Structure formats: structure tokens, C-alpha cells
Amino acid sequence: MAKSFHIVVCAGIVPDPLQTLEPATGPTGPAIKNEMLLPAILDPWAACALYEAAKLAQEHPGSRVWLVSLAPKAKLQQLMMNVAQKAAFELVAIDGPIGGFADAHGTAAALAESIGAIPGLDRSKLLLFGGWESATRGAGVTLQLVGERLGIADQFQGVDRIDILDDGSFEVLERVEGGRHQASICAGAPAVLGWATGSLPEPRNNPQLGMANMRTLMPAIQRARTVAIDANGLHYVSTSVPTQQRATRVVKDLSPDEIAHELAEWIGAE
Amino acid sequence: MESVLVLTHCDEAGATLSKGSLAAIGAGKQLAGRLGSPLAIGIVDEDSEKLAANLPAPGARWLAVSGEAFAQPRFASDAAACAAICRAAQATIILAPQSSRFARVLAAVAHRMNGRIDTHIASMGGAGGLDATRWHYRQRIEAVIRRGSRPWFLLYDGAADASNAAETAPAHIERVAVELPPPRTTVTGMRSPEQAAAGAQGGSPRLGTIRPDAKLLLVAGAGWTKKQPDGKIHTAEAGDLILRFVQVSGASLGSSKSLVDQSGEGNSVLPFLTHLNQVGQTGATPRHRKGLATCCHGEEPHVVGWRFIGERRAVSLDPNCGWTRGKADVVYIADAFQVLARLNSLLGQSRPL
């Protein structure tokens, strides 16, 4: 069985988690106020998927990695300057709306169509990677829908590890309830893997890699096809920021003994 | 007219319906009652016959896909089973628990049924119809949504109302046949990262530190591995204090991202912490009644993971930390090493090891 892979990583762009988010009404429905102006990052779980993909490709010569991202061109251009320094990949850019309020089914349709049209993609070697949930919509369904549209019969979500075995099959660890992993052996590609954190730290910036990547990234962004995302009957009745401000009591004058007693009483109280 | 189907599965032991499934049945029963709709319940399990004597929601139509292939969660078999039940029930609204088993497959099932899916549904309401509440941007924005298209699949993540699923009675279960594709995936078992870490260090496996049913969550922040007032780092002592607290209090153990990232970067810090302990923007959003943060700054990306923690307290040396700015009920400005040592001693007296 093939030991080289064609790895397609789906990754969105999300506001930096340190930013304050305020809902607003845009021309097509709810949006985040000034979302285009907010500093953005590659979706964190999808970024883990990209790093895992790059490592897997490095370990299996002949493998290729594509990063498929749906976002406004300008935002993609900004972000890729940084992402390009982290891992080697070919970009498939799709010019579309940013934000977590677009319908996942419409997004999946656009992604699947673009992936299906990647020149040279061998579906028998395809590993479809992405985050198991995004930091925007956080539904955990887009990757699954893309896999289903591409006719992939094996899917794994909340993946923290993949080990390729000698015969081309692989062992995969998926997160399940109670802080454990479910271990499975899959016969091999094609498969969908929605990554959780994985096991790799964020790679350091590598300017040489960035320069090499940028030669193909900029043309890919320029030729990005523009898509509109179908709402599929989804209607937002309201969006709001929950008020969670608490009347905090700051205790500065108790000894560790007194604090421990107070906490023990609190822990024991029903 | 709407019709409601609730998809369920058993717990890991296979003896009873999972807690999440019971919560979904409760929500489904309430929804069907409000909409005046018929209710069907589907089970995916190895042997649903043993459940038949004692099922909740009397009056509901029960459907099941059973067999050895469904004993373990697996995409191909579970998706085929759920789709078969959906075809048999022909419901317009399909509820299911937001469990790892169904979260893995229900979007694909929705696609096969030409339906639409929304997940992490916190609550359902609406006058004369169905409005669902869910979170966006990792619990930072709450949205109420409605869909015009059917079937509409909803993964329910809301609180269980025990009274809705408490009434049980024997039920007749209709078998639903399903044709499975040739198997390509074999589930080989469950693993705990903590056990793996203990094994790698030659130690004995510890009791799991992630306990979703615990009343209390203890969060350890990066401050535990920083220099203490004596100018030294006391990682081993910190680890002992934290593990001892988890043992004597029965708490679940969470962590900030910065602390687990230190472990991932190869530094020798609290080895029992993994990314599965991580709470926050890129971690878990646990649901414990109480939470105690220690040596943690309480920055927004971490605190979004506390959205569903009821009572919150924190121990920190920093009087300007995020917890003091309306994110906790009580913040103790103190040395967590000293507080936890005394707290362990107090709790150990009432609950000796």
C-alpha cells in the first residue's frame, strides 16, 4: 500500500483570541464588529493539523501538502506571510466571507469543490486534515461534511496522534470523554482526520521556508475563486455577548491557614 | 407537522443508555410535547434487547440498529446505523447527544439525509416553532438560530432535566436493518495519556485526573512552575501538592494552555498534565459546579473555558490578575503553595487516603 500521502489541510482564519469580540449586523446577517480589522491567526486546531501534516509529509518522501483556506483575499495575504514560515505547503485559496456565522454546509460545499479540483491530487492517497472544531463557528461539522462530499468512508475526530504502520495502514488516537483516547487501526488512505492539539509544538519561524512558500502562495491568492456561501435556511434570531461580570471579592488580608479553612468549607458545602 | 427523533447510544459498559442520551431524550420529550409532535427514539448498540425492559419516555416509538459491529464507536458503522434509523423514522427534527460518538458521525448522516445540522445546542425554545441556542467564537457570543429546511439535526449539549427521562417502562423495539460497507477501521481500545506517561517513566498508572462528573475543577496555571519567593523553582513540590489535592478532594484537574505547552516543548514540568487537561479557547469547556484556579492569570482565552463553571474562586499572588476583574467570585491574594499544602492537610483529615 502507498506510503506517500496527499495531505489536504482545511484551515480557516479566526480573530486573535486576545481580541474583544462584539456582535454587529452586516449586510448578509450577523458579523463581528470590525472583524476585517482585527488581528487574525490561523485557526488554532487547524494550525495543529498543518504542523502534523508537514511532519508526516517530511517522514514519507513523495508526499505533498495543500492548505485550503476560505477567507477574504486581503486577510489571506496578511496571514500567509507568517504561516508560510511554519510549514511547507501549496496554497489553495478561496475568496469568501470571514467569520463564524456562515453556514457550515455552504462552507463545506465550497471547500469540497475546490479540493476536488486540485490538479494532481490522488484521492487514493488523500488524508483530509483540519481542526476538529474551529474557533469561530465551533460546530465540528465542516470537515466531516467535506469528507462526506468527497466520498471518504473513514473519519476520525479529535485526533491527537497518527502513526503510519509498515503496510500503509495507520493507528489513530481520537479524544473521547473522560480525558482518554480511542485507538483505532485504519486500513489506510483515504481518510478524514479532524485534529485536536496533536503532539507538536508550534514550529519556529523559518524565513527561508517562508520565501520558498511565498513564490507559489501569492499567485495562488491572486487566482482564488470567489464564492458566496449559501445560508441553507439558517436564520439568526439574535446574537449577543453574555454578561458574565461577577462582583469579585478580593481577599488580601487572610493567612494561608484562614484561606484554606474558607476553601475547605466552600468545597464541602452543597 | 413536525416529528421528532432522538438518536441514542449506550454508555461504554453497554448496560444503560449514556447520560447524554438520557438528557437528549428528556429534551426531545419536552420538545415533542410542546410541538404536539410524535416522538421516536433510535438506539445504536450491540444488544438493545437487554434495554427493552426499562426504557424512558413511555409512548415513544423505539427503533434500534444492533449487532456486534455497533458495540464500539466507529464512523462507517455508526453513520450507516444512524442513517438507517433516520430513514425508518422519517422525522423532521433529529436530536442526539453531543457525545464524541455522535459528534463524529451526525454531520455526515445529515448530509446523507439531505438535511442540515447544528451542534453544541445549549437550549431549545421558540413560540410555536423551534429556536435553538448555541455558542459561537468559543463561548464568547451566544446566538439563537432557526432553520427553514428539514430534516434538521441538532446535537444537544444542554443540561439534563432528569424528570423528563426518569419515567421508565418496558418497550417494544423495532429492529432496523442496515447494510455495512466492508470494514476498514478496527477499534483497538481506550488509552489514557496519563497512564502512558506513568508507564514511560517506569511508574505505576495513576488514577485519571480528568473527571467530568466531579463537583470541583482545580485549574493549575503556569505560576506553579515559576520562581518562588526563595528564587527557586519547585516543580516537584508543585506536582505533589496538585496531585494530592486532586486525590483528597475528588476534583477534576484542568490546566492553562501555557502550562501544558511547557510540557509539550520538552521541559520537565508537571508530567501528568497533557493537552487533554487544557481548559479554554483551544481546550475544554468543562461543566463543574465549582472551579478553583491556582497560579493562573485568568486571561480571556483561558476564562472562556470557564463559561459553564458555576462558582469560581482563585488563588493568585497578583492582585491585578484577570480573575479580580469580575471573572471570579472570590480571589485570594496568597501563595498557592502554602494554601494548597494546608488545604490538603484539612481535606486529608476528613477524607484520609
ipTM for the complex shown: 0.95
Judge whether residue B205 has pLDDT over 70: no
| Orientation angle between helical segments B336-350 and A256-268, nearest 10 degrees | 50
pLDDT at site B353: 47
Cα first-last separation, chain B:
58
| B250 inside 8 A of chain A by CB | no
Nearest to A17 among B301, B313, B334 (CB): B301
Closest by CA position to B35, among listed B43, B44, B27:
B27
**Domain assignment of residue A232, yes or no:** no
Report pLDDT digits (tens) over A230-244: 999 999 999 999 877
Whether B78 contacts B46, CB under 8 Å: no
- Mean pLDDT computed over every residue of chain B: 90
**How many domains is chain A partitioned into structurally?**
1
pTM recorded for the entire structure? 0.93
Nearest to A178 among B140, B210, B311 (CB): B210
**B 135-194 residues with CB below 8 A of A?**
135-138, 140-149, 181, 184-194
Q: Are strands B252-255 and A249-251 parallel, antiparallel or unpaired?
A: unpaired
By residue range, what is the domain housing residue A30?
6-226
Q: How far is CA B342 from the centre of its chain?
A: 31
Q: Are strands B141-147 and A191-195 parallel, antiparallel or unpaired?
A: unpaired
Q: Would you call A263 and B301 a contact, using CB atoms and an 8 Å cutoff?
A: no
pLDDT at site B195: 63
Residue A162, exposed/middle/buried by CB under 10 A (0-12, 13-18, 19+)?
buried
Domains of chain B listed by start with CATH number: 4-175 (3.40.50.620), 193-350 (3.40.50.1220)
**Domain assignment of residue A200, yes or no:** yes
**Domain assignment of residue A241, yes or no:** no
Q: What is the DSSP letter of B178?
A: -
Judge whether residue A91 has pLDDT over 50: yes
In angstroms, rounded to a whole number, what is the distance separating the alpha carbons of residues B195 and B209?
11
| A45 inside 8 A of chain B by CB | yes
Q: How confident is the model at residue B194 (pLDDT cuts 50, 70, 90)?
A: low
Report pLDDT digits (tens) over A20-39: 899 999 888 899 999 899 99
Whether B190 contacts A176, CB under 8 Å: yes
Match 438528557 to its residue by C-alpha cell: B23
CA distance A216 to chain B (A): 30
CA distance B285 to chain A (A): 12
Which residues face B145 on adjacent strands?
A236, B132
- Mean pLDDT computed over every residue of chain A: 95
Q: Would you call B319 and A18 a contact, using CB atoms and an 8 Å cutoff?
A: no
Q: What is the DSSP letter of B140?
A: T
In angstroms, rounded to a whole number, what is the distance separating the alpha carbons of residues A40 and A34?
12
- How much of chain A, in percent, has pLDDT values that exceed 90? 90
Q: How confident is the model at residue B266 (pLDDT cuts 50, 70, 90)?
A: low
Report pLDDT digits (tens) over B2-49: 999 999 999 988 889 999 999 999 999 999 999 999 999 999 999 988
**Is residue A148 left, alpha or beta, with left meaning phi > 0 and alpha meaning psi from -120 to 50?**
alpha
* Mean pLDDT, residues B79-90 taken together: 98
Cα first-last separation, chain A:
58
| B76 inside 8 A of chain A by CB | yes
Match 470537515 to its residue by C-alpha cell: A143
**Domain assignment of residue A143, yes or no:** yes
Length of chain A in terms of residues written: 270
Residue A242 to residues A22, A93, A164, B20, B117, Cα–Cα distance (Å): 11, 34, 44, 25, 24
Q: Could you tell me which residue, B217 or B200, shows the higher pLDDT?
A: B217
Tell me the CB-side half-sphere exposure of residue B130, using CA atoms within 13 A.
33
SS3 at position A185:
strand
Whether B260 contacts B273, CB under 8 Å: yes
Judge whether residue B165 has pLDDT over 90: no
CATH number of residue A165's parent domain: 3.40.50.620
**Domain assignment of residue A122, yes or no:** yes
Report pLDDT digits (tens) over A61-82: 999 999 999 999 999 999 999 9
In angstroms, rounded to a whole number, what is the distance separating the alpha carbons of residues B305 and B299?
11
Report pLDDT digits (tens) over A119-128: 999 999 999 9
**A 56-75 residues with CB below 8 A of B?**
none
Cis omega before residue A190 (within 30°)?
Answer: yes
**Domain assignment of residue A258, yes or no:** no
**Domain assignment of residue A254, yes or no:** no
**Domain assignment of residue A269, yes or no:** no
Q: How confident is the model at residue B166 (pLDDT cuts 50, 70, 90)?
A: low
Centre a 10 Å sphere on the Cβ of residue B84 and count the other Cβ atoms it contains. Answer: 20
Q: What is the DSSP letter of B58?
A: T
